[in-house]
Amino acid sequence: MQTLLNASYQTTAAGLTWTLLLLAQHPNIAGDVLAQAPSDPERGSLLERVVKESLRVLPPVVFVIRRSVRATKLAGHDIREGTVVVLSQYVTHHMAVHFPEPERFDPDRWLVQKPSPFAYLPFGAGARMCMGAMFSMQLFQLAAPAILRRFRLELTAGTRVDRHSSLTMGVKGSLPVMLLPQDGRFSAVPLTGNIHEMVRLPKVSETVGRLAAKAA
């Protein structure tokens, strides 16, 4: 029970927080997600791309650990029996060879990209892959639009957003947001903190400009 709670609670809380934060800071994408009508046969597809991209750029689990049961070679390195090997989802997801412009939050990259399951592995890969993967994808795709339909989440300009990272990576401390009635008037605000090391957020002036052009 403890494993299930630990494995499921922090990961999904971190993933949902990052996803909502990314949507709040990408007004165009948030607007498109909201505009998808429930009866739209394509509904879910943009949302699925948003969730996949969020789990890529800000993966809630940043590394997994293995112990080698026998001597072997890995990428040219000799691995002795008993060696502890750390594989990082975060590092792999930020390799430009797998994901061009890796720091860009670009859900539409999933329209063209089909990375190997060992290059995109928010839920791990192989025999010990997460047993909650499908459940979590469903949860994000139900919870994010349910929240978005009711509320416009607005961060306060100048808020510091840092990662806290152990095995899971979430927002350090708390993330103060204002819950406003959903009026579709999405707008990003300038943030500080090491979030900028991980994801290239659009400049606030850029998003305001693009939204104005869209409205016209």
Nearer to ligand HEM, 50 or 61 (CB): 61
Q: Of the candidates 1, 2, 3, 176, which one interacts with ligand HEM according to CB under 6 A?
A: 3
How do strand 72-74 and strand 77-79 relate by DSSP bridges?
antiparallel
122 binds ligand HEM (CB under 6 A): yes
| Sole binder of ligand HEM in the list 23, 136, 170, 188 (CB under 6 A) | 136
Q: What is the dihedral of CA 119, 58, 107, 17, to 10 degrees?
A: 140
Cα–Cα distance between 135 and 148 in angstroms, integer? 20
d(CA 151, CA 79): 51
Binding of ligand HEM by 4 (CB under 6 A): yes
Of 99, 105, 123, 186, the residue at the interface with ligand HEM (CB under 6 A) is 123
Q: What pairs with residue 72 in β-bridges?
A: 79
Count of helices and strands (H, E) across the chain: 8, 8
What does the block give as tokens for 70? 């026998």
The yes or no reply on residue 170 touching ligand HEM (CB under 6 A) is no
86 binds ligand HEM (CB under 6 A): no
Q: Are 169 and 62 in contact (CB under 8 A)?
A: yes
Which of the stretches 93-101, 123-131, 196-204, 206-214 binds ligand HEM when contact is defined by CB under 6 A? 123-131
Q: What is the smallest separation between the CB atom of 207 and ligand HEM, expressed in angstroms?
A: 27
Query: What are the backbone angles phi and psi of residue 25, rounded to the nearest 5°?
Result: -95, 0
Q: Which residues bind ligand HEM (CB under 6 A)?
A: 3-4, 7-8, 11-12, 15, 60-61, 64, 122-124, 128, 130-132, 135-136
